Amino acid sequence: MRISQVGEFGLINLLNKAMINSPTGVVAGIGDDAAVLKVSGDQWQLFTTDMLVEGIHFRLDWASYFDVGWKALAVNISDIAAMGGKPTHGVISLGIPAETRVEDMEELYLGLRAVARRFGVNLVGGDTVKCPERLVINVALLGEVAAGKAILRSGARPGDIIYTTGTLGTAAAGLHILLNGGNYPDPIKETVLRAHLRPEPRVQAGTLLSSLPGVTALDDNSDGLAAELREIGRASGVGCLIWEKALPVAAEVQQLAALTGADILDWVMNGGEDFELVFTVQPAYRKQVEAALTKAAVDFAAIGVITSAREGLIMERVNGTREAMGQTGYNHFTD
Amino acid sequence: MRISQVGEFGLINLLNKAMINSPTGVVAGIGDDAAVLKVSGDQWQLFTTDMLVEGIHFRLDWASYFDVGWKALAVNISDIAAMGGKPTHGVISLGIPAETRVEDMEELYLGLRAVARRFGVNLVGGDTVKCPERLVINVALLGEVAAGKAILRSGARPGDIIYTTGTLGTAAAGLHILLNGGNYPDPIKETVLRAHLRPEPRVQAGTLLSSLPGVTALDDNSDGLAAELREIGRASGVGCLIWEKALPVAAEVQQLAALTGADILDWVMNGGEDFELVFTVQPAYRKQVEAALTKAAVDFAAIGVITSAREGLIMERVNGTREAMGQTGYNHFTD
């Protein structure tokens, strides 16, 4: 059997079981956005890694080297935010084609450094090696969260309200322009391309959520809302009912969809890379959580409710009908 | 200017300056085998990463997938050992060609798991992505050492004795057989191939050295003895005098050199990948350190003495003459 027949998620199931040889130090291993480690009495540590490959995760005819550096670190920071944590220390590995210009690598580092500075991350180590055909960037990132305050994907229960920060589908709209070209007014183009090329991880919202009571599950929207809801559903043993009319979409994305005839719902559910936070809240804490987010100027929307596992993932369309959603969601190997 | 004109070490100088945005948590950043972080009062944390690229760092016609998994984690464990630490938690990123067989990836994981079990490392996370032409493996590894007990490269002073654990040039002898073929008796072949394909990081020796007084600098022999001595020399601001007759070489390596006419000294000084520990000890503590290593059954040899920076790297040949050593040492980009 070839990797191409299994797909990334199948591969993760086959091979990526955590291997714990010294269990006292580990709160949670593989299966969430980051591992959770005990390193001192009052702090837990978070540990995550992501690899980006030229031509698979980014294209250098679309993205500047600065963009690539920014995004490589930003997606890892988002994994820390998705646990309710604050990023602390990172190490960077670069696989570089020999004909790459030094100036381009300097620009990539400026992108890494800009996002590191923004989020107070220390870049403390790295490895640079030759990789003939493609630029490969791996970031491994540590974070911290108060002991007991990491928010996993597994705590959602039927009746909990489902929320997202920000808006959905914006990065996918940016990818649509990059893939298809076309000349669109600046406010549209600037908004959607920025969302795709320079994502802003939601560290402030994540750390706030970890300090609030009643937040039961948390994930970042890297693979599209449908995929993230399925992950919460699988980890928590629940289903999700999503209200189409409640899904927050930026005005620029609505305008672009109107101009191109594209399907907004496809961008929202399957597009991914928005790096917003998807989270669930117990109904009793709904008002308290919403008030705290509003006070902190975090934009959010209630988009559905947790149901039982046998109901699966269902969308209540604008016209009131309910539809079960299929098994879509971005997959690196089989698409 | 192209990366190929700068070379890896030039690139590291250009780009890999540590970027410290939250200085309270960092004891030492880029420039040693691993970064040193403060995470609790009595423990320091070590953090390192290494990327291995198919065709550059390993060849799948020489090494099994098990070997590749073993070595990818072992070289990172060696970086932790080279700080005097004990490895704790690792995350693994794999960039995989789509036509790779799932069974081969399972074998690679068995190699990772075998070395993780041997050294008590928890594998707590990972990322698997597509990389069309080559298998790329990145490991990021945490370790721990008692606060104040990490051994950097920068503490050597003139008069300190230079030591190595184990023997030198064995992995390079293995590479010689892989590159040139040839049929050699099993004890030779088995010893030198194992050294190249299944290196054993020196965690026990490293943690013992970190507990002893008078150990002033420590490095692992990944790039050849000449390169490691230059790194200690640069970091400590000193020179090194090496005694050729004291360099420990395995009997099998001497036999292979006799059979092939190869230059043992080239294997020892420039070969690298032995992953033995090179360290320096103040003369006043020499007896105490040697006794402790002997008691722990760690094999070691005194191979030279630290001199002043202006003397550079000098070898006293078997015949008593002294020769300055040139600027050799493995480099990923310019060779």
State pLDDT tens for residues B154-170: 999 999 999 999 999 99
Contact A6 B47 (CB under 8 A): no
Per-residue pLDDT, averaged over B119-139, amounts to 94
Per-residue pLDDT, averaged over B230-240, amounts to 95
Confidence of residue B8 (pLDDT cuts 50, 70, 90): low
Residue B30: list chain A partners with CB under 8 A. Answer: 123-126
Which pLDDT score, from 0 to 100, does residue A41 have?
Answer: 77
Which pLDDT score, from 0 to 100, does residue B332 have?
Answer: 41
Angstrom distances, CA of residue A33 to CA of A23, A213, A328, B214: 19, 21, 20, 43
- pLDDT for residue B187 is more than 80: yes
Which pLDDT score, from 0 to 100, does residue B330 have?
Answer: 38
Which pLDDT score, from 0 to 100, does residue A16 have?
Answer: 56
Interface of B with A in 121-150 (CB under 8 A): 121-134, 136, 138, 140, 142
Nearest CA in chain B to A126: B49
Which pLDDT score, from 0 to 100, does residue B329 have?
Answer: 42
Q: Going by CATH, does the domain composed of A3-146 fall within 3.30.1330.10? A: yes
Nearest CA in chain A to B127: A50
Per-residue pLDDT, averaged over B174-198, amounts to 93
Residues in Cβ contact with B291 at an 8 Å cutoff, skipping those fewer than 6 apart: none
Please give the biggest Cα pair distance in chain B.
59
B159 touches A: beta carbon within 8 Å: no
A246-251: list long-range contacts, CB under 8 Å, 24+ apart.
A246/A301, A246/A302, A246/A303, A246/A304, A247/A168, A247/A301, A247/A303, A248/A164, A248/A166, A248/A167, A248/A168, A248/A299, A248/A301, A248/A303, A249/A167, A249/A168, A249/A169, A250/A167, A250/A169, A250/A170, A250/A191, A250/A192
Which pLDDT score, from 0 to 100, does residue B27 have?
Answer: 80
Which pLDDT score, from 0 to 100, does residue B309 have?
Answer: 94
Question: B325 or B190, which is more confident?
Answer: B190
Which pLDDT score, from 0 to 100, does residue B73 have?
Answer: 98
Q: Where are the domains of chain B?
A: 3-146, 161-324
Q: Which of A16, A128, A136 comes nearest B11 by C-beta?
A: A128
Per-residue pLDDT, averaged over B76-99, amounts to 95
Please report the ipTM that was assigned to this predicted complex.
0.91
Contact B18 A125 (CB under 8 A): yes
Q: How many CB atoms lie within 10 A of CB A117?
A: 12
Contact A105 B48 (CB under 8 A): no
State how far the Cα of B217 lies from the Cα of B232, in Å rounded to an integer: 7
Residues in Cβ contact with B172 at an 8 Å cutoff, skipping those fewer than 6 apart: B196, B224, B266, B267, B268, B270, B271, B272, B273, B274
Which pLDDT score, from 0 to 100, does residue A130 have?
Answer: 93
Q: Which CATH class is domain B161-324?
A: alpha beta
Contact A25 B50 (CB under 8 A): no
Which pLDDT score, from 0 to 100, does residue B2 have?
Answer: 72
pLDDT tens track for B60-76? 999 999 999 999 999 99
Regions of chain A with pLDDT less than 50: 329-335
Which pLDDT score, from 0 to 100, does residue A335 have?
Answer: 36
pLDDT tens track for B15-35? 556 677 777 778 877 767 889
Residue B54: list chain A partners with CB under 8 A. Answer: none
Per-residue pLDDT, averaged over B78-104, amounts to 94
- Classified as helix, coil or strand, B178 is helix
Per-residue pLDDT, averaged over B283-294, amounts to 98
A161-324: same fold as A3-146?
A: no
Is A104 a known ligand-binding residue?
no
